[in-house]
Amino acid sequence: MIYADHAATAPLDPAARAAMEPYLAQEFGNPSALYRHGLAARRAVELARQRIAACLGCAPEEIYFTSGGSEGNSWAVWHAARAALSGQGGGVLAVSAIEHHSLLRACDSMKAIGCRTRLLRPDGRGVISPEEAERALAHHPALLSVQYANNEVGAVQPIRAIAALCRAHGVLFHTDAVQAVGHIPLSLEGVDLLSASAHKFGGPKGVGFLYARRGDRPAPLISGGGQERGARGGTEPVYAIVGMAAALEAACKRREALAGQLRRMEAEFRAVLRAGCPQAVFRGPDGAGEKLPGLISVTLPGVRAEGMVYRMDLAGVCLSAGAACDQRGRREPSHVLTALGLTPEEAECTLRLSFGPANAPEDGAETARRLLAALADTRGLAG
């Protein structure tokens, strides 16, 4: 079996599993309790916060634990909308058209309280230019949000330049870094809010964090008993938080070496597929620093991606048709691909592959060979 869907979720890192085990059994205390079991749990949570902050190069008090990327995105939008309602910004939420559904739908939900969404348009590679951000900033939004790296075509955005523009205009800047954290070097310069999810970099599912620049404490999205310094209610999942910290440290340590391996695998996949299927069209940027290493978006004209996912599963390869969160939703073409200019038919014929630490060096070429065999079978059935 070849697992080529790391952008959907990554396997649990052994370091994360080892770190979590004590907190699944004997160390079961509630971090808010004042006796020894609770104090031990609290120490574990705060140590994890420090380790995550060290990986990002920020202060521990700038890290708030969440249930994952969707909550982090929703929290950032709610925080900005609250500020807009209190007269600290306009009622506009400026976000890129290729954001994850969790952020786009959070913005849509703010219409009920008087906010409206303005979409920033990408170029044909999936990149939001600083010029496009500048045009959106002319409308004095309460928030500008651009993904650090796109989850479908892998485009890495010019975050440093966009963040600098937001700072110059006095506009709150958020970036959804779910696909970027642990995979590429990050810059927090000018970033006010950043969301991340553990399972994308080898941590457990159901936990993540929101970075909030010191001095910009986020307005609570979830009310409760005062956890996370009063910003986010709910008993902290100690085992998951500890596992996330261990996974992030492991991901950051191997990041540079793994990126080189993934680029080689991707190059081999492209070469083998192009040789056997010249009509295949690769999407997104192709420069080493412009896209996530190992993430591939490819259109196979006339071949429905959904059917090919099932065929490749039978061939022993896990991949996806567009973003993983769309698989059980409405049967519509990817909003990311259509924003890049693809027709609905082209979008429905586009596969996403994402290699990662679960892969062997030869998996790139072997995946392409199995894809070519599946294409040949499909054409044979059609004939």
Helix axes 305-314, 363-382, angle to 10 degrees: 120
Query: Which residues are 116's β-sheet partners?
Result: 92
Element (H, E) at 283: strand 281-283
What burial class does residue 339 get, using C-beta atoms within 10 Å of its C-beta: 0-12 exposed, 13-18 middle, 19+ buried?
buried
Structure tokens at 60: 């521990």
Candidate list 55, 252, 325, 349, residue with the active-site label: 325
Structure tokens, 32 = 């808010």
Separation between Cα atoms, residue 3 and residue 354, nearest integer Å: 8
User: Is the Cα dihedral 7, 13, 17, 23 positive or negative?
Assistant: negative
Element (H, E) at 29: none
**Residue 189: both structure tokens together:** 């310069």
Those residues whose C-beta lies under 8 Å from the C-beta of residue 359, and which sit 6 or more positions away, are 2, 3, 4, 262, 265
Q: Which amino acid is at 294?
A: G
- Radius of gyration, alpha carbons of the chain: 21
Tokens of 157: 């955005």
Amino acid at 332: E
Length of the chain: 383
Show the tokens assigned to 50. Answer: 């420090």
Answer yes or no: are the C-beta atoms of 195 and 178 closer than 8 Å.
yes
What whole-number distance in Å separates Cα of residue 80 and Cα of residue 210? Answer: 14
Q: Is 325 an annotated catalytic residue?
A: yes
Instruction: Give the integer Cα–Cα distance in Å for 321 and 304.
Output: 9
Are 164 and 133 within 8 A, CB to CB?
no
Which residues have a catalytic role annotated?
325
